[in-house]
Amino acid sequence: MEPAIFYILAAVTVIATLFAIAEKHAVHAIVYLVTSFFALSVIFFMLGAPVVAVFEVIIYAGAIMVLFLFVIMMLDLGHPERARLPGGRDWWPALVLGAVTLAAALTLFVSRGPAASAAGKAIGVKEFALALFGKYGVAVEVISLQLLFALVGALYLGKRRNDRGEGGRRLGEGQSLLREERHP
Amino acid sequence: MIVPYEHVLVLAGILFALGLVCVMVWRLNLIMLLIGIEIMLNATMLAFVGGAARWGMADGQVFSLVIMAMTSAEVSLALAMVVYLHRRKKTVEADEFSELKG
């Protein structure tokens, strides 16, 4: 029963990803990709990784894809008739390269023959947390630093300023306005 | 382990190839290019989780979580950059941004 569910979910993932790639409307592509991520998260769950499955839904489908949607709607990019679409000249080198990569990988797997799959036990939340915060505690610290850098960088890039560098002056004006409001 | 490890790796390989094709086809649209990178990182996460299930160790899952955190940082920064570039030239086509100093 479980292998059948795995293969069905694998098919759903691959087909949804294919549709996402071939879709010229960016919003539709994002929705196809969310479908693919949901199927992939169930695959993660069946492979004995409940924590990763939950984070896949929460962070990937819930946060990152919504961030994409937010940017597409904010910049008004959901008009495929206005954008330049890839033609046949763009498709065939990519398809050839992808087919070669895929054929190489499949040949490798087929030539090795079926290896004996060890009966791996499912990994619970406790063991995962022990590994994450014990053995890889430094990685957690590095990730927190990285997220802080990303926050600062996004704030810097997203700050609205014009070309003559008057952003700082306008910020100062805003602060003085605030001060005047506070002390009339 | 419900299915052989090779089948998980084949699925991860197919997804990675699809992400590669997406990056190469849509190299003129920054948003779709980032989506292709997301697909490739997901395939990598699937390979890591499959390895964790194959050998019964939590390390692969920790790595996939690290990849997820790295992706969220990367996407937030890249999308902020997309917003900045769109504010400069009113387009998200990658070919428009070919010079360093604008």
Nearest CB neighbour to A49, from listed B21, B61, B86: B61
pLDDT confidence of residue A24: 83
Residue in A closest to B47 by C-alpha: A44
Same domain flag for A80 and A145: no
CATH code, residues B5-93: 1.10.287.3510
Interchain CB distance below 8 Å, B83 and A68: no
Domain containing A39 equals 1-84
Q: Which of B2, B55, B71 to mutate to test the interface with A (most CBs of A within 10 A)?
A: B2
Residues A77 and A148 occupy one common structural domain: no
Q: Which of B16, B20, B68 is the best substitution to test chain A (most A C-beta atoms within 10 A)?
A: B68
DSSP three-state, residue B1:
coil
Crossing angle of helices B5-25 and B30-55, rounded to 10°: 170
Q: What's the pLDDT tens digit per position in A17-29?
A: 999 998 888 899 9
Could B21 and A121 be called an inter-chain contact, meaning their C-beta atoms sit closer than 8 Å?
Answer: no
pLDDT number for residue A76: 83
Residues A157 and A79 in one domain: no
A-B contacts (CB, under 8 Å): 233
pTM value is 0.84
**Alpha-carbon distance A182 to nearest alpha carbon in chain B (angstroms):** 33
Report the gap between the CA of B48 and the closest CA in chain A (Å).
10
B68 within 8 A of B45, measured Cβ to Cβ: yes
Give how far B83 is from chain A: nearest CA, Å. 7
pLDDT (tens, 9 = 90+) of chain B, 102 residues, equals 778 888 888 899 999 999 999 998 888 888 889 999 999 999 999 999 998 888 888 888 999 999 999 999 999 999 998 888 888 888 888 877 777 765
Among the partner residues B10, B68, B86, nearest to A59 by beta-carbon distance: B68
| Complex prediction ipTM | 0.90
User: At which of A84, A116, A140 does a domain end?
Assistant: A84
Contact A126, B53 (CB under 8 A): no
pLDDT for res A120: 59
What CATH code is carried by the domain that includes residue A48? 1.20.120.1200
Which residues of chain A are modeled with pLDDT < 70?
113-121, 162-184
Q: Where are the alpha helices (DSSP H) in A47-159?
A: 50-55, 65-75, 88-112, 125-130, 137-158
- What residue spans of B26-93 are helical by DSSP H? 30-55, 59-89
Specify the number of domains making up chain A.
Answer: 2
Q: Is the dihedral of CA A155, A159, A164, A169 positive or negative?
A: negative
- In this structure, are residues B57 and A103 in contact, taking their beta carbons and an 8 Å threshold? no
- Asked if B35 and A117 come within 8 Å (Cβ–Cβ), the reply is no
The answer to whether residue A114 is domain-embedded is no
Check whether residue A76 and residue A131 sit in a common domain.
Answer: no
Do A33 and B86 count as a contact with CB atoms less than 8 A apart?
no
Contacts 24+ apart (CB under 8 A), A32-36: A33/A65, A33/B35, A33/B38, A33/B39, A34/A61, A34/A65, A36/A12, A36/B39, A36/B42
Structure tokens at B67: 């990849």
Å between A181 CA and nearest CA of chain B: 31
- Per-residue pLDDT tens digits for A10-64: 999 999 999 999 888 889 999 999 999 999 999 999 988 889 999 999 999 999 9
**3 state DSSP class of A165:** coil
Q: How far apart are CA A140 and CA A35, in angstroms?
A: 29
Q: What was the pLDDT predicted at A65?
A: 92
Residue A94 lies in a domain: no
pLDDT of residue A15: 95
